Chain A
């Protein structure tokens, strides 16, 4: 019996039914794997998602209620009740929503339902960014030089100043890139700290801060890890996630084009070591900031499945959701580190309903046509269907397009082709923008860092050629019934005379 198991957790739980407490593409993706495992699937959903593919394919659909759709998906009580009501013995939380909510994990445990994820204590540890940093630093893993307010609030500003510029101010309770401020001029430090505190209170209800040395032109490298109930941990190699807009990833790939084999080994083994140190159970990701000089620092650990997990699956030939379920059942890891080998290269592009030409503002509308791309090496994880709607209720991600190739160039070429072939009509998307990024020299050289999109913004806009505009206008005019009716109404002789005047 593993000392890290919380009391009351069933030994080697068995389940025949799993409730998915999520929506969109991830709900569908999880459902598909559960089916291959012969499990019954229940999906908890808000009415707004009633027509979504996951709900339609589930064996049981349980409706959630809330003041807003998001509130429904965050309602612990309702979801626990939904699991019980649908006879589920386990719940998969997907990503976002309650996936990193320790109280939720505990509530499920109290109800005798398995939470497919790490233990509540691990969630709490890694959910508190300050605690997590301290835990990692104490065990000898690299963290960015920092000043943590909680250590000694009185000297916080002085310690921050002592770090030197550039600095990054972060909220302790934050995540997802929100509330972070870069300071390059120490004269502005105190004002920026005040602002960051206000934002921390507003977004997270917690104004505590910490300050880190900011790595210029940083690359975001993360490592997938798996841990079983017996303390075994393996890493499943890294993912490069540096192509970001507004601190949100839009293109991820593996292997990272910027690491030497030694650096790769270092980062991945550090990640595995961190996971081992906290007795990690399930699938998780350790995120690092990687600097131009080869230095890397622990950023945070995400105690859940990540959006970009498919690229890892593509090169390693694994189904991570399948592994999650097995690990939640208490089974030991079935692969040794030496067995986990990468083949080829995979890239994921996130298709968002947004307008890159207008500061990426979210777009809404009815989905009039949806034809995902296909072809060798192409995988599409989507949660939309034709005649569905994209609204502002949720994050505007429509689909993930994952392309695998024998080489990085082949993966890039397949990704560009797939994006060109993606037909989504009715809502503006970033598809064209993504192809521009994929073909930009900085990306093809494998040198993208997290500032690339902002820096290269002007080069990523491809103006339409006159021929292209002719085509779009012709297509629109010929589909315009009123217009065509008026045009055809002109009698033939008069049309032949054209604009003649006596």
Chain B
């Protein structure tokens, strides 16, 4: 499986596959390594790379793993998710905000043509005594405000359309 790890600010791409012996193969560029690990009684791991063993201390954080290798010191190895980085069409984040429930518009602090920042309040609606604030999901320009203050709307009705600023 494709994965990228960052060490000292440098990203390394790896492909991890299941070897024919049932073990783990790591492909780095043109090189393929057979890797395995064995737990040691003191909580450390013996990592074997193509049969060569080295002992490490590993601790897992939220998105990163911290590895201390004998004679080398400690390093942070951060996992990078691949999906959003590589190619393919991207039309920008959601540009249509629609009503999560039927209701009434009680405030519209923006107008068509306004440039807005992510998180900026675009509209406040009210439904069954519950006020909901709609904010901009990204930096954009307001293309259309579909309903004015006081107007009522149905469930899923388009309320604000954004476009690239």
Contact = CB atoms under 8 A, between A and B. Distances in A.
Direct contact of A and B (CB under 8 A): yes
Contacts of A423: 57, 68, 74
A274 interface: no
Interface in B6-50: 7-9, 12, 14, 16-20, 22, 24, 26, 28, 33, 35-37, 45, 47, 49
B65 A476 contact: yes
A426 B59 contact: yes
B5 to A, nearest CB: 5
B121 interface: no
A425 B56 CA distance: 11
B145 interface: no
B73 A369 contact: no
A486 B14 CA distance: 14
B76 interface: yes
Contact of A464 (B7, B60, B71, B79): B7
B26 to A, nearest CB: 6
Contacts of A472: 5, 7, 67, 69, 75, 77
A374 interface: no
A33 interface: no
A144 B54 CA distance: 54
Interface residues of B, number: 45
A368 interface: yes
A422 B49 CA distance: 24
Interface stretch (A131-139, A223-231, A490-498): A490-498
Given A426-B66, A431-B73, A468-B72, A477 B3 contact: yes
Contact of A486 (B1, B37, B76): B1
B157 interface: no
A437 to B, nearest CB: 13
Contacts of B47: 471, 474-475, 478
A473 B66 contact: no
A495 B61 contact: no
Contacts of A474: 26, 33, 35, 37, 47, 49
Contacts, number: 136
A151 to B, nearest CB: 50
Given A476-B79, A479-B58, A368 B66 contact: yes
Nearest to B8: A357
Nearest to A386: B59
A369 B74 CA distance: 11
A368 B60 contact: yes
> Which of under 10, 10 to 19, 20 to 34, or 35 or more describes the interface residues of A?
35 or more
A477 B56 contact: no
A52 B138 CA distance: 42
Contacts of A498: 17, 20
A469 B26 contact: no
A357 B6 CA distance: 14
A366 B62 CA distance: 10
B56 A471 contact: yes
Contact of B24 (A357, A371, A468, A487): A487
15 contacts: A371-B57, A420-B71, A424-B74, A425-B59, A425-B67, A435-B73, A472-B67, A472-B69, A476-B67, A477-B3, A478-B36, A480-B79, A483-B16, A487-B17, A492-B22
Interface of A: 357-358, 365-366, 368-369, 371, 419-420, 422-426, 428-429, 431-432, 435, 464, 468-480, 483-484, 486-488, 490, 492, 495-496, 498
Given A469-B7, A474-B33, A487-B18, 15 more contacts: A366-B61, A368-B60, A369-B57, A423-B68, A425-B74, A472-B69, A472-B77, A473-B12, A475-B56, A476-B79, A478-B24, A483-B3, A483-B16, A490-B18, A492-B22
Interface of B: 1, 3, 5, 7-9, 12, 14, 16-20, 22, 24, 26, 28, 33, 35-37, 45, 47, 49, 54, 56-61, 65-77, 79
